[in-house]
Amino acid sequence: MSQQHIIPSSSTAVARRGGALKALPQRQAAWTAASAIAAVAFGLGGLWFGQPNLALALAIGTGVIAINPRKWWAAPLVMTAVVMGALSFEWLRLPAVLGAGAVAGAMAAWMIPEHTDALDYVNGALGTAIGSSLGLWAALQLLPAGIDGLVAAALTGATVGLMASGGLLPLAIRFDTPRLPSMRHVNRVLQPAYRPPVLRAFTLFASTRRHAPDLETRRGLCEVATWVFRLQSTMQTLDKELENINVDDVTARIEACASATPGGDSFTKERRAATATHLRRLLDHRGAIAIERKRNEALVEYATAFLEEARAGLAVARELPGETVPDKLPEVLTRLRGQAISGEARRATKRELAES
């Protein structure tokens, strides 16, 4: 088996992390277009001109939904949350766009396909709240005064949507950075007996990432360390399957079926024969599972050795202090030698004067 078939080259975890930044322009474009279209629709319905704050909040919420159309079922929840955010800020005599933007940013962090946490919600809320406010200011101050009606609604919705979608940038940058699964997640998934190889792999990655020359190298090392976690999770599942199949018990059941009294009806004989067949296949499956378990264990050792070699290779590859001589070293040595010669001459002179 060649190395290129063993090392995970572009697996799901890396694709998600690297894809967040690549998908950012598409998501921002979808947010902007959806907000503009929604603004026009609300303008046709009269809501944009009668309740502009409410219409703008709904337009921002529509943009949030557009970044992940597969989560269409969450549209009512997103729209309700964004409108409530706008109304609550308006009730507090604060700009409604701030409340709509803050809630929209948090909902956007929830809508994106990547796995997010509380920090992502905070970053999204802050980024979108600031972007929405700047977008509304730009629309009010920079758009030509002669534009009104549906055109003004479309441009305002597009401007606010474009600036609000800037809240996706912190999320994209964070997911583009190689990250290991959290230890909380590891402890939740793996039993204590299966954690040591994962901890070893994570420690090796932590010691190599500081000296990795570029992002792609760090991403590759992170994927290998994450691969160890997935392998250990698979090994835990395989061990459970092996424990569930007791060889002695299954063998005894097969022998019981074979040694049954020859008398009786044909149906009973056929069912016992079929039972024995299924049990023999169960033992065959157990043998296959045992082989996969050994292969999985070998891959864990292989990945760990790979990380150990990578750490040593980076230590050799990085620039070391002993590679270059300080620029002033020859000058200092020349000066010291000159001083030594002068000192020796001075002492020789003093000895000659003392003897005379």
pLDDT surpassing 60 at residue 87: yes
pLDDT surpassing 60 at residue 10: no
Between 265 and 65, residue with greater pLDDT: 65
Going by pLDDT thresholds of 50, 70 and 90, the confidence category of residue 3 is very low
Summary mean pLDDT of the chain: 82
Going by pLDDT thresholds of 50, 70 and 90, the confidence category of residue 110 is confident
The answer for residues whose C-beta is within 8 angstroms of residue 72's C-beta and 6 or more apart is 65
Q: Which pLDDT score, from 0 to 100, does residue 239 have? A: 92
Q: Which pLDDT score, from 0 to 100, does residue 318 have? A: 62
Q: Which pLDDT score, from 0 to 100, does residue 20 have? A: 64
Kind and range of the H or E element at 321? none
Interatomic CA distance for residues 291 and 278, integer angstroms:
20
pLDDT surpassing 60 at residue 7: no
Q: Which pLDDT score, from 0 to 100, does residue 247 have? A: 87
Interatomic CA distance for residues 90 and 129, integer angstroms:
14
Distance set, CA 69 to CA 147, 182, 288 (Å) = 32, 29, 42
Q: Which pLDDT score, from 0 to 100, does residue 2 have? A: 40
Which of these ranges, 173-177, 180-184, 253-257, 292-296, has the smallest mean pLDDT? Answer: 173-177
Torsion of CA 198, 204, 205, 209, to 10 degrees: 170
CB 283 within 8 A of CB 253: no
Kind and range of the H or E element at 72? none
Distance set, CA 174 to CA 168, 222, 232 (Å) = 10, 14, 26
Going by pLDDT thresholds of 50, 70 and 90, the confidence category of residue 266 is confident
Between 178 and 243, residue with greater pLDDT: 243
Interatomic CA distance for residues 60 and 84, integer angstroms:
13
CA atoms within 13 A on the CB side of 64: 36
Report pLDDT digits (tens) over 128-173. 899 888 888 888 887 776 677 888 888 888 889 889 888 888 777 7
Q: Which pLDDT score, from 0 to 100, does residue 11 have? A: 41
Going by pLDDT thresholds of 50, 70 and 90, the confidence category of residue 260 is low
Interatomic CA distance for residues 305 and 294, integer angstroms:
17
Mean pLDDT to the nearest integer, 331-356: 75
Q: Which pLDDT score, from 0 to 100, does residue 19 have? A: 58
pLDDT surpassing 60 at residue 14: no
Report pLDDT digits (tens) over 185-221. 889 999 999 999 999 999 888 887 777 767 677 778 8
Interatomic CA distance for residues 122 and 117, integer angstroms:
9
